[in-house]
A and B are shown apart, each in its own frame.
Chain A
Amino acid sequence: MSQPPGAAVSLAEAPPAGTTSRPPAAQRVLPLRRPGRWIATAAVLVVVAQIIHGLATNPFYQWDRFRYWFLRPTILDGLLITLEVAALSAVLGLLGGVLLALGRLSGSPVLRAVSWTYTWLFRSVPLIVVLIFLYNFSALYQTLSLGVPFGPAFVTFDESRLATDMAVAVVGLSLNEAAYASEVVRGGILSVDQGQHEAAAALGLPKGYQFRRIVLPQALRSITPNYVNQLIGLIKGTSLVFYVSLLDLFGSVQTMGSTYPGDIVPLLLVATVWYLILTSAVSVVQFYVERYFARGATRTLPPTPLQKARTGLAEARARLRREAAV
């Protein structure tokens, strides 16, 4: 800092002696070398290779038995149950969540209190307790009827017929899911700018339209990642329905494992890979859903993997051409 500012400027402007005749390429800024990063990368690659090697060659994993079990009908039946329970609970849970969130945000103190209490209750009780509780429900209440409390009943169901294992599983998971979904949805709604509510009100848009067309589409942008998180938790949570004697993916693996104790490791691998596939599928859907709801929120949409690959290729080609020209 001993130099006067003028000197620094003139220094930057005048090219060092002897370089004036060089082509402009000589002035290109060379990227910083990062040897540390290269060493770390190499080390991590070695570890990854070791893990893959171990997975592939260790007889403990019995990959031939994995192949035998992976597409067995009994496993696929279990997978189907898992999908069915997860899909139904996801839809019912989200619907319940939206209703609970609206209740929480309502002007009525009773609705607010009921929604809050529901969420509090089902977030506090472990899912497995809810499931086993429901499983034993038919013993507690023989019939379920719809009518005026303490008054006449209009419709009466025979509980033992209603409560199939599937129904118990779906109801249990939905009840639990709705409690979490309500907070996700409420957070999404709160994230929408107050000005949007005001603009919609100032235009006199009907209340339902305001929610469905103005608030919800914007809320969904922040609801999506959180709800997908929830959904992945739900898919894995379905493994608990085994305890209400429903043979889902985990249930089938568990049953087969006790019949063929030698195959327990490959069977667990089968379950792991299927859960990985389900989660991956959900993540792909998430990417495109998020992209859809990003319309208008960002100036340009995030590129799809295909677009990314294409621009990456084009950039690499351009760089090569530039280098060749120098």
Chain B
Amino acid sequence: MTTTEKTPTTPTSPAALEVHGVHKWYGTHHVLDGIDLSVRPGEVTVVLGPSGSGKSTLLRVINHLEKPELGHVSVGGEPIGVRRHGARLRELSERAILRQRGRIGFVFQNFNLFPHLTVLDNVAAAPVATGKLTRDEARELARELLTRVGLGDRTGAYPRQLSGGQQQRVAIARALALRPGIILFDEPTSALDPELVGEVLAVIKDLATSGTTLVIVTHEIGFAREVADRVVFIDGGRIVEQGPPAQVLDHPRHERTRDFLAKVL
């Protein structure tokens, strides 16, 4: 029952996210081929890469929607989905994994809002269901968060009555409701009409500047340049290069990065 493994606050505080030698296969396809990554608290990381490069899989491994076959992920110093058992790692119970996910926000490409619940209940559901807040507290928080993403007046609507951009902003509010230490975005604007992309990026940018740790998979290079502290380029399940946006986007050192950027820019 070590839910919050308190790590002593040393001058070098633990990384918000650490990925240790993660491998993942789908059948014979080697999707993630030894990924190592460390993200500092408050850092905004943008993951770029061609489709099929494994970037979405990497995000899904971080909150354990997918199990890595080798290696593991730590969030705030705590291994996700596994616990240390002597020198080895043991799989956690489903219940424990669900509890850990409360500290990792996830925003999907297709929003995946609950269509039968109002916008307010979509946001308020998780804190109530996980016993973190009472119903009234959760609704209060939900109203606050929906106002923050600019939808304070649509709390009674059902998701299908909203535009894609509005739905994605609700999804962001829903992820924030659990007060996660880190939020993962899986191509949050890819399913949106071009004129709706801006409103969603504005909300993400607001989060980025308020010091939330973010990992964002996106194809919006301009946005990456604007908000990212670090850009990670993935291809063939490996990190090809990473660094500040000015370096990776403007002076890529690798051929594959250059090819990719030439195609998307």
Complex: chain B residue closest to A194, CB-CB: B112
Contact residues of A between 192 and 221, Cβ < 8 Å to B: 193, 195-196, 198-207, 209, 213-214, 217-218
Residues of chain B lying within 8 A (CB to CB) of residue A298: 160
**A166-209 toward B: CB 8 Å interface, digit per residue (1/0)?**
00000000000000000000000000010110111111111101
Q: Within 8 Å of chain A (Cβ to Cβ): is B159?
A: yes
The minimal Cβ–Cβ distance linking A206 to chain B, given in whole angstroms, is 6
Asked if residues A205 and B125 are in contact (CB atoms below 8 Å), the reply is: yes
A293 neighbours in B (Cβ, 8 Å): 116
Question: Which residues of B sit under 8 angstroms from A195, Cβ to Cβ?
Answer: 108, 110, 112
Would you call B102 and A204 a contact (CB within 8 A)?
yes
Contacts of B108 in A (CB 8 A): 195, 198-199, 202
Q: How far is the CA of A139 from the CA of B110 in the complex (A)?
A: 60
What's the interface size class on A, roughly?
A: 20 to 34
Considering only residues 43-94 of chain B, those with a C-beta below 8 Å from chain A are 63, 65, 94
Residues on the B chain within 8 Å of A297, using CB:
115-116, 160
Q: A199-B112, A217-B116 are in contact. Are A205 and B98 (CB under 8 A)?
A: yes
Determine if B94 and A207 form an interchain contact, defined as CB atoms under 8 angstroms apart: yes
Contact A296 B115 (CB under 8 A): yes
A33 at interface by CB-CB < 8 Å: no
Using known A-B contacts A204-B100, A204-B126, A206-B129, determine if residue A198 contacts B160 with beta carbons closer than 8 Å. no
Cβ–Cβ contact B115 & A201, under 8 A: no
Question: Is the C-beta of A299 less than 8 angstroms from some C-beta in chain B?
Answer: yes
Closest approach, in angstroms, between the C-beta of A223 and any C-beta of chain B? Answer: 13
Q: Is A310 an interface residue (CB 8 A)?
A: no
Which A residues form the contact surface with B (CB < 8 A)?
A: 193, 195-196, 198-207, 209, 213-214, 217-218, 293, 295-299
B binding-site residues for A, Cβ under 8 Å? 63, 65, 94-95, 98-102, 104, 106, 108, 110, 112-118, 125-126, 129-130, 158-161, 174-175, 178
